[in-house]
């Protein structure tokens, strides 16, 4: 198993995710410009969004639990034994994924009616057809998630990000070349084709570490242990992903176009959650599993504390930009073609709602990985129950008051509360873990962000530029002011970053 540092692995993943998200934003911009926000785009976003969420719920639960077991197996028994484990797991879960595919294909009208209770007639039939086509993704996702465990154990994170890249690329091509002739169905089939190509790609990338075998030695004990670990995680993730399903359900009841507004705004939220939060948590989880297998839990605590410090400092100026220039960001990305002024305002409200929860999403993502690394999947499951209950309650209440933006705000409120519920349990596994020494820097970063946000808002009102010009001016002002103020107020994370940059510059 190759040794790679957390910093270098995170940097590689961040760069890859940045490229993928740029393409993803281009995809959403193309859909907004070419397709607009219609009943058909709503059906597309519901079908693809829910299918991807359910695939993640089912099979990322297996892969997360499997990664710790596979890492321990590789270190203690070697590559042949770990390869046998992966083959055994595939033989169990591939048939399960086929069964789920057939279930969704056969009962797609009922599932469509559940996901969009307000849909009737042609709208319901369209959504049902999209779900039927997308059902095959369960099979592709099962294979991809399980084989990708081999690569992540070896600290090879980039190949696993190919799925999003291919999905974005194929949908972009479909929107440009095939939408005028085939409508939204072209985008659905492009999404499906990306799943097939991804399975081929992940197999090729893992060819040196993984091989299929005709006969598998009995792994009943290991598979039983995997099921015991994965089941609570599956339930927890399912409950957590229900947030997204419920959000879309509520949005369908607000009138056509609102699911699209929610999806367009969510894509901007995902730039932060994917580029910064996911890249860090993905890399750290693999290292957590390795350190625990090697009997070094103290390294988990130190790494967790540092990662949260870095995330807080990095996310603060991004939040300022979203609050001050959220409308500019939406206008730059989507403000053309069939995307009108009303769509811009509604999507901006979604961006505001999600931005409030950036810090809590980041912290929760890293805390949960600690529980998973110690093979505790029950606590995150219970935490997920609270998350859904809070999200559903506030989504219903806030959507009635402020529309689709209230749905995004409810998600942030839920993230805030469940994040604080996770913190005490971390000490059970890492007794010396504490964030108290970081609180002064958190306070400094928040104070700087608030002051700069107020000044940036006032400056924005004086600028004579359009969306792009205002975004660039405010962005440069915010970043430079934030870094300068953080340096003057002696925030430790900034000092560490500066020291590393200066040391590299001297080489």
Q: pLDDT for 132-159, tens place per residue?
A: 999 999 999 999 999 888 888 877 766 6
The residue-averaged pLDDT of 458-465 equals: 86
Average the pLDDT over 175-179 and give the result: 88
| pLDDT reported for residue 331 | 87
Q: What is the pLDDT of residues 286-337, one digit of tens each?
A: 566 667 666 676 777 777 777 788 788 888 888 899 898 888 888 888 877 7
Give residue 105's pLDDT: 93
Question: Which residue ranges make up each domain of the chain?
Answer: 6-506
pLDDT at position 401 over 70: yes
Write down the pLDDT at residue 137.
92
In tens, the pLDDT along 228-260 reads: 877 776 776 666 666 677 787 788 778 777 888
pLDDT in tens, 20-35: 767 777 787 788 888 7
pLDDT score recorded for residue 288: 65
Name the nearest CA neighbour of 413 among 436, 400, 395. Answer: 395
- What value does the mean pLDDT of the chain take? 81
Question: Model confidence at 40, in pLDDT bands (50, 70, 90)?
Answer: confident
Q: What is the pLDDT of residue 100?
A: 92
**4-16: buried (b, 16+ CB within 10 Å) or exposed (e) per residue?**
bebeebbebbbeb
Tell me which residue has tokens 């090697």: 294
d(CA 468, CA 307): 32
| Residue 8 confidence (pLDDT) above 60 | no
pTM: 0.64
Q: How many CB atoms lie within 10 A of CB 218?
A: 9
Query: Measured between alpha carbons, how far is 415 from 412 in angstroms, rounded to an integer?
Result: 5
Percent of the chain, pLDDT > 90?
10
Whether 86 and 147 have beta carbons less than 8 Å apart is answered as yes
Distances (CA, A) of 324 to 100, 155, 335, 346: 45, 38, 17, 16
Predicted pLDDT at 10: 56
Look at residue 266 in the predicted model and tell me its pLDDT: 80
Residue 451: what pLDDT?
A: 93
pLDDT (tens digit per residue) in 164-173: 778 888 888 8
- Tell me the CA distances in angstroms from 5 to 8, 156, 287, one per residue in order: 5, 12, 9
Q: Which of 272-276, 304-308, 469-473 has the lowest mean pLDDT?
A: 272-276
| Window from 47-51, 95-99, 293-297 with minimum mean pLDDT | 293-297
| First vs last C-alpha separation in the chain | 30
In this structure, of 177-181, 303-307, 470-474, the range with the lowest mean pLDDT score is 303-307
Instruction: Report the percent of the chain where pLDDT is more than 70.
Output: 86
Q: What's the CA gap between 432 and 226, in Å, rounded?
A: 29
Alpha-helix residue ranges (DSSP H) falling in 403-491: 404-429, 439-462, 467-488
């Amino acid at each position: 198993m190759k040794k790679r540092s957390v910093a270098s692995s995170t940097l590689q993943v961040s760069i890859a995710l940045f490229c993928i998200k740029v393409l993803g934003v281009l995809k959403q911009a193309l859909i907004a410009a070419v397709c607009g926000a219609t009943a058909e785009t709503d059906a597309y976003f519901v079908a693809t969004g829910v299918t991807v969420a359910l695939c993640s719920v089912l099979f990322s639960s297996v892969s997360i639990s499997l990664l710790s077991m596979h890492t321990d197996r590789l270190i203690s028994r070697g590559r042949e034994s770990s390869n046998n484990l992966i083959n055994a797991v595939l033989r169990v879960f591939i048939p399960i994924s086929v069964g789920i595919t057939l279930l969704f294909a056969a009962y797609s009208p009922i599932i469509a009616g559940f996901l969009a209770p307000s849909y009737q007639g042609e709208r319901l039939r369209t959504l049902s057809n999209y779900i039927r086509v997308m059902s095959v993704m369960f099979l592709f996702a099962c294979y991809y998630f399980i084989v990708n465990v081999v690569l992540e154990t070896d600290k090879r994170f980039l190949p696993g990000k190919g799925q999003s890249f291919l999905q974005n690329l194929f949908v972009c091509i479909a929107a440009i070349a095939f939408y005028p002739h085939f409508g939204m169905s072209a985008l659905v089939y492009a999404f499906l084709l990306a799943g097939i190509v991804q399975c081929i790609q992940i197999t090729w990338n893992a060819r040196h570490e993984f091989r299929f075998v005709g006969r598998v030695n009995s792994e009943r004990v290991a598979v039983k242990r995997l099921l015991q670990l994965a089941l609570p995680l599956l339930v927890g993730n399912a409950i957590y992903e229900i947030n997204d399903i419920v959000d879309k359900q509520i949005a369908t009841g607000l009138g056509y176009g609102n699911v699209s507004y929610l999806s367009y705004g969510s894509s901007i939220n995902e730039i932060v959650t994917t580029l910064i939060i996911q890249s860090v948590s993905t890399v750290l989880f693999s290292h957590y599993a390795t350190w625990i297998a090697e009997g070094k839990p103290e390294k988990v605590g130190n790494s967790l504390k540092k990662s949260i410090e870095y995330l807080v400092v990095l996310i603060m100026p991004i939040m300022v930009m979203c609050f001050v220039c959220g409308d500019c960001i939406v206008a730059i990305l989507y403000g053309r073609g069939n995307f009108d002024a009303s769509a811009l305002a509604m999507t901006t409200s979604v961006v505001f709602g999600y931005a409030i929860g950036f810090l809590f999403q980041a912290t929760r993502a890293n805390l949960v990985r600690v529980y998973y690394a110690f093979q505790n999947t029950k606590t995150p499951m219970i935490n997920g129950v609270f998350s859904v209950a809070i999200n559903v309650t506030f989504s219903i209440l806030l959507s009635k008051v402020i529309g689709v933006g209230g749905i995004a705000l409810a998600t942030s409120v839920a993230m805030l509360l469940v994040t604080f519920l996770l913190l005490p349990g971390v000490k059970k596994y890492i007794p010396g873990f504490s964030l108290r020494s970081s609180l002064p820097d958190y306070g400094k970063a928040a104070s700087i962000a608030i002051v700069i946000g107020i000044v940036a808002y006032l400056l924005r009102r004086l600028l004579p530029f359009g969306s792009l010009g205002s975004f660039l001016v405010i962005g440069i002002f915010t970043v430079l002011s934030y870094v300068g103020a953080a340096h003057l107020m002696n925030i430790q994370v900034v000092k560490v970053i500066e020291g590393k940059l200066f040391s590299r510059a001297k080489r």
